[in-house]
Amino acid sequence: MKTVLVVDDEPSIAQIAGDYLRHGGFCVLTASNGVDALALAREQRPDLIVLDLGLPRMDGLEVAKTLRREGNVPIIMLTARIEESDRLVGLELGADDYMTKPFSPRELVARVRSVLRRVDAAGAGGDVVRRGDLVIDNTRMQVTRGGAPIDFTPTEFQLFAALARQPGRIFTRAQLLDAVRGTNVDAFERAIDTHIKNIRRKAEPDPRSPRYILTVYGMGYKFAE
């Protein structure tokens, strides 16, 4: 049984999210502030974290930043903030998905399942793709360059692997969203640009002059042939 940590300082939201996730077959942990969330994440090692941005004691963005320094646990962010900049900040810190409050608890369960399916599918792939000095190991969800590991989040890995499997193919942002979500849902296409920016920062020798992930202006992105 997969374990989900729900972090929200509003008891009613944490309770209803937890109830729906338990009904969906998940083991659920809860925390109401950022400090407790980090402690639980370190002790219990959940399979996924649902993380509110507006938390007492430690802001959700700071929690996400700390989690990303320590590992690659999938994160779905909850936010009452509707500004695009807030969503982008969360994605830049490595969130795999986001939902804006108020949200449907059924949709939350669906998003959790989608992210976990994505992680499981990547881990079960069993194939290794080589592109120049890059090695993409789907079993371990790991990319190395010249033997040195690149610390991708699960979503960044899925995007990078999807592009690398078909060098030269142009992917639109919508197609890349489908590739990482596994289903076509209403999504924030600008999120793809943010993830690509993060991938380049981590993987490219010079992110300002990409060697691997190339922009096809007016269309999308492709992996260099």
pLDDT tens-digit map of 68-111 = 888 878 899 888 766 666 666 767 777 778 888 888 999 999 98
User: Which of 120, 137, 171 lies at the terminal end of a domain, its last residue?
Assistant: 120
Residues 113 and 194: their CA atoms lie apart, in Å, by: 23
Residues 18 and 114 in one domain: yes
Residues 11 and 115 in one domain: yes
What pLDDT is stored for residue 63 in this prediction?
Answer: 93
Residues of the domain holding 170: 125-223
Q: Are 200 and 207 in contact (CB under 8 A)?
A: yes
User: Which of 120, 149, 180 lies at the terminal end of a domain, its last residue?
Assistant: 120
Residues 97 and 17 in one domain: yes
Residues 109 and 214 in one domain: no
Residues 44 and 144 in one domain: no
Residues 112 and 180 in one domain: no
What pLDDT is stored for residue 83 in this prediction?
Answer: 61
Residues 132 and 218 in one domain: yes
Residues 141 and 160: their CA atoms lie apart, in Å, by: 11
Confidence category of residue 128, pLDDT binned at 50, 70, 90: confident
Residues 33 and 115 in one domain: yes
Residues 44 and 63 in one domain: yes
Residues 109 and 24 in one domain: yes
Most confident of 67-71, 77-81, 157-161, 187-191: 157-161
Residues 75 and 208: their CA atoms lie apart, in Å, by: 28
Residues 101 and 217: their CA atoms lie apart, in Å, by: 34
Residues 131 and 179 in one domain: yes
Residue 211 predicted with pLDDT over 70: yes
DSSP string, 13-78: HHHHHHHHHHHTT-EEEEESSHHHHHHHHHHH--SEEEEESS-SSS-HHHHHHHHHHH----EEEE
Residues 123 and 219: their CA atoms lie apart, in Å, by: 30
What pLDDT is stored for residue 199 in this prediction?
Answer: 94
Tell me how many domains the chain contains.
Answer: 2
User: Which of 68, 95, 120 lies at the terminal end of a domain, its last residue?
Assistant: 120
Q: Helix or strand or coil: residue 79?
A: strand
Token duo for residue 90: 């969360």
- More confidently predicted of 117 and 152: 152
- Which position has the token pair 């692997």? 161
What pLDDT is stored for residue 69 in this prediction?
Answer: 83
Residues 23 and 94 in one domain: yes
pTM for the full model? 0.65
Task: Give 166's Cβ-side CA count (13 Å radius).
Answer: 10
Alpha-carbon separation of residue 218 from 156, 175, 215, 222 (angstroms): 22, 14, 9, 12
CATH number at 193 reads 1.10.10.10
